[in-house]
Amino acid sequence: MELHPPTHRALLVVDVQPTFCEGGALAVEGGDAVAARVAAYAATHRGDYDVVVTTQDWHIDPGAHFSDHPDFVDTWPPHALAGSDEAELHPALADLAPDHSVKKGRYEAAYSGFEGVDVAGRPLAELLAAHAIAHVDVVGIAESHCVKETALDAARLGLRTRVLTDLTVPVSPDQGETARAAMAAAGIALERSR
């Protein structure tokens, strides 16, 4: 008899990497604080989840995603270069011990964690299905981009999806507002962590 029945819930920690935090190539204001809050939340709530999965931008040659004259909509300065310190998980997550890690964007732009694969080449959706995951909580950086796209893809796959709004931060307030509206319209719950 199981003492703790499975929750069928996963925590998706999206792109909490130095490249997206203060001092990084594509810094989001408040990134370091989000990294610390995500680490603290994961440490105290690990038992609420069957699996914890991290995603990372991991760019080798993403083509037009990188630009010397970025528009910050479709093109960006070089960031999250594969193998660089900036592309690793944020030091605040040193004790996270994720069950799975997926990397995305090697040779293309990739905003959603569902575009990523683990070291064995298994996509995120397959990893979650293997654990019979039905619910996902999405946290990380940036709310307006990779968190939003990961959450939208999770919802499209039929997963009950929640974004923990105090464990993410948008590129800008306006873009955050737009992202939250899009996520709410897709039936994604926007809640503060407890």
Helix, strand, or coil here: 146? helix
Split at pLDDT 50, 70, 90, the class of 2 is very low
Q: Which listed residue (50, 57, 103, 104) is catalytic?
A: 104
Three-state DSSP string of 17-79? CHHHCCCCCCCCCCHHHHHHHHHHHHHHHHHHCCEEEEEEECECCCHHHECCCCCCCCCECCC
- At 74 the pLDDT is 86
**pLDDT tens digits, residue range 121-179?**
999 999 999 999 999 999 999 999 999 999 999 999 999 999 999 999 999 999 999 99
Residue 182 CA to its chain's centroid (Å): 17
* Integer Cα distance of 163 and 26 in angstroms: 22
**pLDDT tens digits, residue range 162-174?**
999 999 999 999 9
User: Is the pLDDT at 189 greater than 90, yes or no?
Assistant: yes
Task: Spell out the domain ranges in the chain.
Answer: 9-191
Split at pLDDT 50, 70, 90, the class of 6 is low
Residues 6+ apart with CB under 8 A from 50: 6, 7, 8, 9, 10, 131, 132, 133
104 has catalytic annotation? yes
Q: What is the average pLDDT across 54-73? A: 93
Find where tokens 């935090």 sit: 21
CATH of domain 9-191: 3.40.50.850
- At 159 the pLDDT is 97
* Integer Cα distance of 193 and 39 in angstroms: 13
15 has catalytic annotation? yes
User: Is the pLDDT at 3 greater than 80, yes or no?
Assistant: no
Mean pLDDT taken over the chain? 95
* pTM for this prediction: 0.95
* Integer Cα distance of 101 and 38 in angstroms: 16
Split at pLDDT 50, 70, 90, the class of 7 is confident
Q: Which listed residue (32, 57, 103, 146) is catalytic?
A: 146
Q: What is the average pLDDT across 1-20? A: 80
Q: Which listed residue (15, 50, 137, 153) is catalytic?
A: 15
**CA angle, 28 as apex, 27 and 34 as ends, to 5°?**
120
Residue from 55, 193, 49 nearest 133 by CA = 49
User: Is the pLDDT at 5 greater than 60, yes or no?
Assistant: no
